[in-house]
Chains A and B, each alone.
Chain A
Amino acid sequence: MSPSADNEHAPLLVERRYFTFAEPPKQMQLDCGAHLGPITLAYETLGELNADRSNAILILHAFSGDSHVAGRLSIDDERPGWWDNMVGPGKPVDTSRYFVICSNILGGCSGSTGPSSIDLATGKPYGLHFPMVTIKDMVRAQKHLIDHLGISTLMALIGGSVGGMQVLRWCADFPEMVGSAIPMATTTRHSAQAIAFNEVARQAIMADPAWNNGDYYGGGGPAHGLAVARMIGHVTYLSDEAMREKFGRRLHRNALSFDFTGDFQVESYLHHQGKKFVNRFDANSLLYITKAADYFDLERGGNQLINEALANVPFLIISFTSDWLYPTYQSRDIVSALKKNGSDVSFCEIEAQGGHDAFLLPNRRLDGLVSGFLDRVYHDRCL
């Protein structure tokens, strides 16, 4: 067996940090009208910020991600971050050159303020008393963090799926801070189909008696409902082709069982994904984040990407052929809006079997696009 790269070099160690702001009475106003504070964001950084603070890249995670984008949290940490194939020294998002920031979103459950956090007013977890947050609110909170880090312009913003929505929201709300942007496998607004799947996932949680109207933090919580919600999610992240390739109609036991315990490999895969998810995710966070994604609409009241302030921002839009959650036509709509600004926009539809999840999987074409694009932006802006 050849030693893996990680054994040859010391693993890339990262530390999770926390930034707290909006202390009362300076609470942050949310889109829904409520005020929230204090707010904590969990974040991690990799690489070094250069002298003129021009090499910062903000990575926005998808709905169930967290701030742990790459590297390891300790020497004996078995699992690297969720985009370790993309981010690190010598990787497409090269941390020997760029300063990479990734924070857990507002409403999440991996260290940032969300429904499972303690409400200082009551001393108990918020649960359903947590106000409804939007993608815009998440980005508003991220801006506080970026200001706190003393960065006035981000060299690039990169994100896929719900992370891509945040990239687009940044472009619409703070165009002067966007040096360049790579939204991938994303959309300007959810289709009815995407909303429908999210609603079924939410109902799976809320139908579990253990959900108890969101007040379950003393006990086990709606494990079954959350697992089913995740199973639905996984179906939308794969594709017909990916499932045929991965499972076909293969059984995971020797013969048909003639009961309902699950005979097919695809069933056991979904059961496994559901179980795994319950151990790391909060059911209420899923409700809030899916709702924020459903509410997200950059085209309400005119397309908010059509903005002269974006005319000089280089964009790289990426979609994947087998993504049926946010199909390519939705990425082309983004391209079409940006072209109206006369923006510098590149677009590529990558042939991939992986479905919506393709952006997270190792892919040489994706690597080449991201590193080539960032290299150009870096030479234009930082050298």
Chain B
Amino acid sequence: MTAVYNQELGNMRFDLQVIASWIEPGSRVLDLGCGNGDLLYYLKHHKQVIGTGIEFSEEKAARCIERGLTVLQGDFRHEVKDYPKGRFDVVVLSQTLQQIQDPKELLIDLLWIGRRVIVSFPNFGHWSARLQLLFTGMAPVNDQLPYEWYNTPNIRVITIKDFKRFLHLFGLRIVREVAINTHHHEFKGNIIRTLKNLRATYGIMMLERVT
């Protein structure tokens, strides 16, 4: 287990720090559900990235535009449709995959408009979730999954192992991957190297099509 803390990236969520470190300078990036634009802002000013964000909330989208970022307000499942093939080098989907109705179709769309896709998602295979289900017989509620079954936005239960199986089935390849152990909004975190599906709270992967 390695503790990672980058001073320069210190004001960003830890999974975004990992994602930012994977992006090549000068690349064209699309960030889905970009929130207040922290990742895009960092990439623009430190890596000369040409970025676009899509954000559902008017307030957050407006905040991004005020910061000088290129952002579309809207539902990214619709907004990804019009871009030409290969418009982006990297499409970022952080902590959203588990909230998508049709993740397979979405990933196919994203790998059409982008050469590579980076996804991060909470790992439902984490030991605490397993133990909660085993011992209490109730759906897991913890820091990464702080919701009750009736109000959770997370409609897909994904584990790192499940996700890899899915990639294999649909002809997608992992270019890079990291499993981390961190709380949801933490700026620091640990990278997990063994027993990932049991010990990691989040999985982060860079994907591309198998051509």
Q: Which A residues contact B (CB, under 8 angstroms)?
A: 314, 316, 332, 335-337, 339-340, 342, 344-351, 365, 368-369, 371-373, 375-376, 379
Contact = CB atoms under 8 A, between A and B. Distances in A.
Nearest to B88: A342
A336 B84 CA distance: 11
Contacts of A371: 66
B84 A346 contact: no
B68 interface: yes
14 contacts: A316-B65, A339-B82, A342-B83, A342-B84, A345-B70, A346-B71, A347-B73, A347-B74, A350-B58, A350-B62, A365-B62, A369-B62, A369-B66, A372-B66
Interface size on B, as a range, is 20 to 34
A336 B82 contact: yes
B83 A349 contact: no
A260 B68 CA distance: 54
B87 A342 contact: yes
A234 B175 CA distance: 58
A346, A369, A376 — which one has the most chain B CB atoms within 10 A of its CB?
A346
Contacts of B71: 346-348
Interface of B: 50, 52, 58, 61-62, 65-74, 81-84, 87
B84 A368 contact: no
A344 B66 contact: no
Chain B binding surface, main DSSP class: mixed
Contacts of A348: 58, 61-62, 65, 71, 73
Contacts of B74: 332, 347
A340 B62 CA distance: 23
Given A344-B52, A372-B65, A314 B70 contact: yes
Nearest to B87: A342
Contact of A346 (B65, B81, B82): B65
Contacts of A373: 65, 68
Contact of A347 (B50, B72, B87): B72
A345 B72 CA distance: 7
The 5 closest A-B pairs by CB, nearest first: A376-B68, A372-B66, A339-B82, A368-B66, A347-B72
Contact of B62 (A335, A337, A345, A368): A368
Contacts of A336: 81-82
Contact of A351 (B58, B68, B69): B58
A347 B87 CA distance: 18
Given A339-B83, A342-B87, A349 B66 contact: no
B52, B73, B84 — which one has the most chain A CB atoms within 10 A of its CB?
B73
Contacts of A316: 65
